[in-house]
Structure 1
Amino acid sequence: MKRNHLIRSVFLAWVISLSSVSLSAEPIDYELVDIYGENKQISDYQGRLLFVNFWATWCGPCIREIPDLIEFRNKFGDRIEVIGIAFEKTPVDQIRDFAEELKINYPVLLIGDEPLVPMEPLKGLPSTFVLSSTGELLKTHIGPVTANQLERWLLALDAQVEN
Structure 2
Amino acid sequence: MGVGLQRVLGRLVMAMFAGLLLAGCAEDAGVDQHGRKVAVERLEGQWLVINYWAEWCAPCRTEIPELNLLAEQLAGQAEVFGVNFDGLQGEELAKGAEDLGIRFTVLATDPAPRFDLPRSEALPVTYIVDASGKVRARLLGEQNAEGLRKRLVELQAER
Residue 143 of structure 2 is aligned with which of 142, 145, 162?
145
Question: Normalising to structure 1: TM-score of the pair?
Answer: 0.67
Residue 128 of structure 1 is aligned with which of 123, 126, 129?
126
Q: Which runs of 4+ in 1 moved over 6 A?
A: none
CA contact (8 A) 1:50 1:133 kept: yes
| Higher relative contact order (Cα pairs below 8 Å, separated by 6+ residues) | 1
Cross-structure match for 1:11: none
Cross-structure match for 1:98: 96
Calculate percent identity across the aligned residue pairs. 27
Structure 1 unaligned regions, length at least 5: 1-29
Question: Normalising to structure 2: TM-score of the pair?
Answer: 0.69
Residue deviations 1:54-81 (CA, integer Å, cap 9, x gap): 1111111111100010111111212010
Give the Cα separation in 2 of the matches to 1:159 and 1:120: 24
Cross-structure match for 1:80: 78
> Cα RMSD (Å) of the superposition?
2.5
Give the Cα separation in 2 of the matches to 1:156 and 1:115: 23
Cross-structure match for 1:69: 67
- Residues 131 and 115 from structure 1, CA distance in 2 versus in 1: closer, same or farther, beyond 3 angstroms? closer
Give the 3-state SS of the residue equivalent to 2:52 in structure 1: strand
Structure 2 unaligned regions, length at least 5: 1-27
Residue type of the alignment partner of 1:126: P
Cross-structure match for 1:46: 44
Give the Cα separation in 2 of the matches to 1:107 and 1:129: 15
User: Comparing 150-159 with 116-125, which one deviates more in the overlay?
Assistant: 116-125
